[in-house]
Amino acid sequence: MQMERKETCPPGTFKSSQGPGLCLQCPSNSRSAAEAATICVCRNGYYRGDVDQPDMPCTSVPSGPRNVISVVNETSVILEWHTPRETGGREDVVYNIVCKKCRADRRTCSHCDDNVEFVPRQLGLTETRVFISNLWAHTLYSFEIQAVNGVTNKSPYPAQHVSIDITTNQAAPSIVPIMHQVSSTMKSFTLSWPQPEQPNGIILDYELRFYEKDYAEINSTMLRSETNTARVEGLRSGTVYVVQVRARTVAGFGKYSGKMCFQTLTDDDYKSELREQLPLIAGSAAAGLVFIVSLVAISIVCSRYCTLNMSTMAVFMVHGCVYGPTGHTRTHTPYTQTPYTHTHTHTHTHTHTHTHTHTHTHLTQPLADTDKQAGNGACL
């Protein structure tokens, strides 16, 4: 019996099963370096998908989508794009959408909330179009459109993608949550309120609507304010008013807040409040008076102290020198005017034979100017 001869496949070919059969050339983008190969290995940058057969070519990942365009309104966006230039040699390219909500300064972004909707879906899109809704108005979003295929998960690199940043349009703001009464008089009251939780744009101004509680809403009066405080004037004393407020952006007004009641002071309330404030006013006035008296007293003491010091220094001034109490000599700039001096000598005779001569020098220059200069701030 004659044995069938077994043939060994040379490099560059393969045979997927043992036994008789033909050796096949390695598919595109693959190679076999040794003899008797049962499969060809993909070259760098090329891969086989999980369902690809050994005789199928190795393929690569697709390039990113191109030419993204967007249609934006207040809370939704439509994204459309062109297919990648390179599909990697495959026909199973699909698209994934990554949504991020960013701060206005673009420093930080976070993934979008779970309530954001994608139609027809967020992952595995076979079409080059998606509708995204439930976004926040006047908010910066960054969308990443990824192109993936059957070998993207084999690559160590992230999926190729294209990004687009969009800012949703401004919308009417949400409701102002609450109002507070800052102050009240017989004819007015001042109110303040926080900004809406969702401004949905730049707040241009606020509109207040108010009317007397005992009358119908049809008798409302409107008041505009560019800040989140307002003084409502021209009211009746001791009267309860119903007040509502709403905010406005370029997209229009939001809804009015809930109705809140505020009351002006009665005549008795006003007098009582005035009596309560009188002790505070008197105390403040007394404190101010004490402060002024203290300043005057300090100024007088300082002025006298300066006058005394300058007079003492003048007595010890001789020929441009000042002699201190300890006998040390300190240089001193003499007057520009030559002072007139007179000298008198006293001779005292004691049982011991010696004579003491005392010489006193007196300046005829008045000290008034020197004292005045010291009192103007030299000692303060």
3-state class (DSSP) for residue 67: strand
DSSP-derived pairing of the beta strands 161-167 and 109-111: unpaired
pLDDT digits (tens, 9 = 90+) for 2-28: 334 456 888 888 887 776 778 888 999
Ranges for all domains in the chain classified under CATH 2.60.40.10: 66-167, 180-268
- Of the chain, the percentage scoring pLDDT greater than 90 comes to 58
pLDDT above 60: residue 1 = no
Please state, in angstroms and rounded to a whole number, the distance separating the CA atoms of residues 95 and 231. Answer: 56
Ranges for all domains in the chain classified under CATH 2.10.50.10: 9-60
- In whole angstroms, how far apart are CA 52 and each of 47, 177, 338, 339? 10, 60, 119, 120
Query: What mean pLDDT, rounded, does the chain reach?
Result: 80
pLDDT in the model for residue 33:
81
More confident site: 331 or 172: 172
pLDDT in the model for residue 8:
80
- 140 burial type by CB count under 10 A (0-12 exposed, 13-18 middle, 19+ buried): middle
Most confident of the ranges 35-49, 252-266, 323-337: 252-266
pLDDT band at 295; cut points 50, 70, 90: confident
Query: What secondary structure letter does DSSP report for 83?
Result: P
Q: Homologous superfamily of 66-167 in CATH?
A: Immunoglobulins (2.60.40.10)
**Structurally, what CATH architecture does the domain formed by 180-268 represent?**
Sandwich (2.60)
pLDDT above 80: residue 279 = no
pLDDT digits (tens, 9 = 90+) for 226-244: 999 999 999 999 999 999 9
Amino acid found at 16: S
Amino acid found at 194: P
Q: Homologous superfamily of 9-60 in CATH?
A: Tumor Necrosis Factor Receptor, subunit A, domain 2 (2.10.50.10)
pLDDT in the model for residue 12:
85
Q: How many other CB atoms are found less than 10 A from the CB of residue 90?
A: 17
* DSSP H/E element including 329: strand 329-331
In contact, 41 and 31? CB cutoff 8 Å? yes
pLDDT in the model for residue 307:
57
The DSSP result for 237-264, as a single string, is TT-EEEEEEEEEETTEE-PPPPPEEEEP
